Amino acid sequence: MATRVFLLVGTRKGAFIFESGADRRDWTLKGPFCQTAPMNHVIGDPQSGMIYAAGGDPWFGPSVWKTSDLGDSWSHSSAGLCYEEGLEPVGSVWSMHKRNGTLYAGVQPAGLFRSDDDGATWTHLHGLQEHPSRPEWQPGGAGLILHSLVTDPEDEKRIWIGISSAGVFHSADGGETWEPRNRGTRADFAPEDQRYPEFGQCVHSLVKAPNSTDLLYQQNHCGMYRSADGGRTWESIEEGLPSSFGFPAAVHPRDPETLFLLPLNGDQAGRYMPDAKAAVWRTRDGGRSWQDLREGLPQEGAYFGVLRQALATDVLEPAGVYFGTSGGALFASADEGEQWSPLASHLPGILSVETMVVRD
């Protein structure tokens, strides 16, 4: 049985696909795809081999692209991927998620859509727009973006989403109704006596641990957190990390206690690698202790950032870890972060990295 490993990379100038075998040593590169439009998120379905790319073209607006032949041919659609007339139109698609036969798309301004026909048509899940807190959401630097989408493998009705500067929300009924789940996460940018609001926290990345019903992690604008109760309460796990600021988070494919982060030097300090030395930080104990992983990563002049969706793991043993920089470099580790090597140095600015492992 041949194993094919794909890295799906969304950039400011289209989608790219890297491919390697199980050893993850030599990689080939295809792209750019999607007419070089900015692609915020590219995901793959290992069961079907379908790849979906989502973004927003500066001329032609938001759409979801898909390919059934690993990038050789693409189609696109945004049918139904819109709000009612008169509302601020959907500007771009920011996040994609597939659970069994259902595709989900998170958009800017923040909203959630689903497709049950493989992306041909989309249905707006109105619940988020109707949430009582909706009029008070304020866009962050990248806009009011729904960038994180998490579902429960055991229960199709349970969905968690992360919206920049609005916070984490959870639905137990498939997206009809939502409740904010931000207790314990800070809003350092708020007045001193209002730093733990019900919503308005600036979540940057929300991920769900494998093999666990309710264990979540998040990288926030203001700290790193874990929740053992599905987001009802959060506890800080930033002690031992070089800063409380960063964008992405990635879980291990099997171990719920292993998490990878990429802390940056600070939200008002340039947002690059601390001391300009690149490192991925890993915990093996659910955030109680941290190890910096920097072998093979640049240890001088690393003035780059890594964005919300640009850190990923694969499902192989040992797990591969990958991240793409805002400057267009892509780094890979085939041993859970111990050793790193560059796969590309001069791509367009990287917005997202995902993996897909296909066994032929």
Output 82 or 316, the one with its CB closest to other proteins. 82
Beta bridge partners, 224, equal 219
Beta bridge partners, 65, equal 53, 76
- Check residue 115 for interaction with other proteins (CB under 8 A): no
**CA distances, 157 to each of 152, 178, 227 (Å):** 8, 11, 19
Residue from 4, 29, 30, 35 in contact with other proteins (CB under 8 A)? 35
- Check residue 87 for interaction with other proteins (CB under 8 A): yes
How far apart are the C-alpha atoms of 285 and 217, rounded to whole Å? Answer: 13
Record the tokens describing residue 248, joined without a space: 């992405």
- Check residue 77 for interaction with other proteins (CB under 8 A): yes
CA atoms within 13 A on the CB side of 29: 11
Q: Which residues of 128-165 are buried (b: 16+ CB within 10 A; e: fewer)?
A: bbebebbeebeebebebbbbbbbbbeeeeebbbbbbbb
- Binding segment toward other proteins, per CB under 8 A, in 43-51, 74-82, 100-108, 276-284: 74-82
Output 81 or 278, the one with its CB closest to other proteins. 81
- Check residue 90 for interaction with other proteins (CB under 8 A): yes
How far apart are the C-alpha atoms of 107 and 41, rounded to whole Å? Answer: 11
- Check residue 61 for interaction with other proteins (CB under 8 A): yes
- Check residue 89 for interaction with other proteins (CB under 8 A): yes
230: number of Cβ within 10 Å:
18
How far apart are the C-alpha atoms of 123 and 170, rounded to whole Å? Answer: 19
Output 34 or 343, the one with its CB closest to other proteins. 34
Q: How far is the CB of 218 from other proteins (least distance, A)?
A: 30
- Check residue 279 for interaction with other proteins (CB under 8 A): no
- Check residue 346 for interaction with other proteins (CB under 8 A): no
- Binding segment toward other proteins, per CB under 8 A, in 85-93, 123-131, 262-270, 304-312: 85-93
- Check residue 129 for interaction with other proteins (CB under 8 A): no
- Check residue 60 for interaction with other proteins (CB under 8 A): yes
Beta bridge partners, 160, equal 150, 170
How far apart are the C-alpha atoms of 278 and 324, rounded to whole Å? Answer: 12
- Check residue 126 for interaction with other proteins (CB under 8 A): no
Output 84 or 154, the one with its CB closest to other proteins. 84
- Binding segment toward other proteins, per CB under 8 A, in 73-81, 124-132, 195-203, 322-330: 73-81
Binding site for other proteins (CB under 8 A): 12, 35, 57-61, 63, 76-79, 82-87, 89-90
